[in-house]
Amino acid sequence: EIADLRPTHLWTSLSRATLLGQLVGLRRGLPVVSWQHAAWLRPANRLLLRATRRLSTLWIADSQQVFELTHVRLGVPYERLVCWPIFAADPDAPRAAPWRPGEVVRVGSLGRLHPVKGYDLLIEALARLADGATPFEVVIGGDGEQRAALQSLATVRGVRNLRFAGFVEDTRGFLAGLHLYVQPSRSEGFCVGAHEAMAAGVPVLASSVGELPHSIIPGATGALVPPGDPVAL
């Protein structure tokens, strides 16, 4: 297929594709551009990519943190690294209405249901909220391997005002219906979902990981908490 397409360059994304693309590029004499958009790599993948880093002509990072980690952990020199954020705010995107006293606070999050996203931490945080708090409801949009485990945890911890919406096609409409967006991740790169929420005018409560501490102004556009800390969340 590569021979039929006759490309002049190869663009790779994620570890496996990068390793395979580098081999194809080496065999066919094609320059390889490798896109990094994850702050966390499996130890084996990190070792492999560090060993093959010179097979990619250029590395593109989706955020400043991934840019630095690609340099430090993979040994890619700065002159072969570019920081290229993967998000641009759309001025025509729908805007969320601010919360008004007496309304139920609508809290939401978008993401795959995977341990790295920290939704178990969110459930633990919700379970710790004192009785008599402002009425709220939480909706998580997304699906993944942890769905059954998270639903079970919510039941065990007595969190009843949490709903799993599954895959959300209209993400703009979803975000515009929120009063607060939560990103409890243990690790992130750029984190598009949180930035889309900010673009919709929704304050963001997030773990201080990835690009988020560079984008959120505490007390103005949201708040930051230490990762992995449900009490702080």
The helix/strand/coil state of 101 is: coil
Could you tell me if residue 216 is inside a domain?
Answer: yes
How many structural domains comprise the chain? 2
Burial per residue of 133-156, b for 16 or more beta-carbon CB atoms within 10 angstroms, e otherwise: eeebebbbbbeeebbeebeebbee
Element (H, E) at 20: helix 15-28
pTM comes to: 0.76
Instruction: Give pLDDT, residue 59.
Output: 97
**Are residues 215 and 112 part of one domain?**
yes
Task: Give the pLDDT band (50/70/90) at residue 3.
Answer: confident
Enter the tokens of residue 162: 């949490």
Tell me, what CATH number does 75's domain have? Answer: 3.40.50
From CA 20, how far away is CA 100, in angstroms rounded?
Answer: 53
Instruction: Give pLDDT, residue 28.
Output: 92
**Are residues 124 and 214 part of one domain?**
yes
What is the span of the domain harbouring residue 143? 105-225
From CA 118, how far away is CA 122, in angstroms rounded?
Answer: 7
**Are residues 204 and 114 part of one domain?**
yes
* Residue 190 φ/ψ, nearest 5 degrees: -80, -45
| Res 133 pLDDT > 80 | no
From CA 149, how far away is CA 151, in angstroms rounded?
Answer: 6
Task: Give the pLDDT band (50/70/90) at residue 40.
Answer: confident
**Are residues 199 and 125 part of one domain?**
yes
What digits encode the pLDDT tens for the residues 135-188? 999 999 999 999 999 999 999 999 989 999 999 999 999 999 999 999 999 998
Compare 47 and 41 and report the one with higher pLDDT: 47
Instruction: Give pLDDT, residue 22.
Output: 96
**Are residues 135 and 70 part of one domain?**
no
Task: Give the pLDDT band (50/70/90) at residue 42.
Answer: confident
Say which residue the tokens 């001025």 belong to: 91
**Are residues 76 and 114 part of one domain?**
no
| Res 33 pLDDT > 90 | yes
| Res 14 pLDDT > 80 | yes
Could you tell me if residue 35 is inside a domain?
Answer: yes
Tell me, what CATH number does 138's domain have? Answer: 3.40.50.2000
Dihedral through CA 106, CA 107, CA 111, CA 116, nearest 10? -160
Could you tell me if residue 57 is inside a domain?
Answer: yes
Could you tell me if residue 231 is inside a domain?
Answer: no
Instruction: Give pLDDT, residue 106.
Output: 97
**Are residues 118 and 39 part of one domain?**
no
* Residue 223 φ/ψ, nearest 5 degrees: -150, 150
Say which residue the tokens 């005002």 belong to: 161
Q: Calculate mean pLDDT across residues 120-146.
A: 91
Instruction: Give pLDDT, residue 86.
Output: 79
**Are residues 211 and 109 part of one domain?**
yes
The helix/strand/coil state of 207 is: strand
From CA 83, how far away is CA 51, in angstroms rounded?
Answer: 22
From CA 93, how far away is CA 38, in angstroms rounded?
Answer: 26
**Are residues 17 and 58 part of one domain?**
yes
| Averaged confidence pLDDT in the chain | 92
Enter the tokens of residue 179: 């009063």
**Are residues 139 and 73 part of one domain?**
no
Question: Sign of dihedral through CA atoms 106, 187, 160, 171?
Answer: positive
What digits encode the pLDDT tens for the residues 44-87? 999 999 999 999 999 999 888 889 889 999 999 999 999 988 78
